[in-house]
A = this chain, B = another copy of it.
Amino acid sequence: MYNPDNLHLAMGTALQRTIHQLRSEDREFFQIAISVDCVIFGFDKNELKVLLIKSDLEEFNNQWSLLGDLVRPDENLETASYRVLKDRTGLDDVYLEQVYTFGEVNRHPAGRVISTAYYSLINIKEHQPVLTDNELHWHPVNEINTLAFDHKTILDTCLERLQSKIEEYPIVFNLLPEKFSLRELQTLYEAILGIKMDRRNFRKKFFLMDWLEDMNELEQDVPHRPGKLYRFNASRFSSGKEKTPMPV
């Protein structure tokens, strides 16, 4: 598999030497660790939340941090993200998207660690087991002011990406149970975008986009007139490049 001794290749002058002309003397470069950090989003009680873990690093005593791990030499970057998710949430089939790589020299107190940030969307209700792990906790995104390391920056970056992404692609459904009401869907959009939307225009928009399939069922246990339940019908999303601007 991985073998540093494969690094004997054509040479060049120091200036001309590029990554494509690695020599075995270049092992000095293998002094950077790479990690993945996962911003795991969930939606509960009308709030967008993120799964955090208590940092036990002295420098960041009592601060929360994102879930992450070092990338192993024999695993893909994305594989590492899935592994973190699987280990921490038990969930397998989740939406995952790479966002940005943070590579400041001093971002990690333990040494040079470059970290690639992913965010993932999970249905929080399928995920109660994690709450038994008292190191882990769901935090409302709005109430997070500081995190360990540069994780607040990472969180902000991922949230921005999520915001722009949902305005074009039908990915929010990953945050909802299979069946949901239009109100839940709208509240979710509002929570992510941080804005209020008009109920009637929102409804109109979604039916026009034809993403929803009527389940012919009604909400249960609501203290008012129950709404219809729908589910996302991926087949109606012609995965072409058409945009799907959301109401503002």
Contacts and interface: CB of A to CB of B under 8 A. Distances in A.
Contact of A74 (B56, B77, B105): B105
B73 A28 contact: yes
A35 interface: yes
Nearest to A84: B18
A221 B28 CA distance: 54
B30 A33 contact: yes
Interface in A1-38: 1-4, 6-7, 9-10, 12, 15-22, 26, 28-35, 37
A174 interface: no
Contacts of A3: 111
Contact of A31 (B2, B58, B102): B2
Contacts of A141: none
Given A2-B112, A20-B148, A73-B29, A56 B100 contact: no
A238 interface: no
Given A70-B29, A111-B22, A103 B87 contact: no
Copies in the complex: 2
Contact of A111 (B7, B15, B37, B55): B7
A13 B227 CA distance: 47
Interface residues of A, number: 66
Interface stretch (A113-121, A180-188, A207-215): A113-121
A33 to B, nearest CB: 5
Nearest to A114: B34
Contact of A20 (B12, B16, B56, B77): B56
A89 interface: no
Contacts of A196: none
B73 A9 contact: no
Interface stretch (A61-69, A123-131, A228-236): A61-69
7 contacts: A2-B112, A6-B109, A10-B58, A19-B70, A32-B32, A74-B105, A78-B103
Interface of A: 1-4, 6-7, 9-10, 12, 15-22, 26, 28-35, 37, 53, 55-58, 60, 65, 67-78, 87, 98, 100-105, 108-116, 135, 148-149
Given A71-B103, A76-B103, 10 more contacts: A2-B111, A3-B111, A15-B87, A19-B108, A19-B115, A29-B34, A29-B72, A34-B103, A73-B112, A101-B101
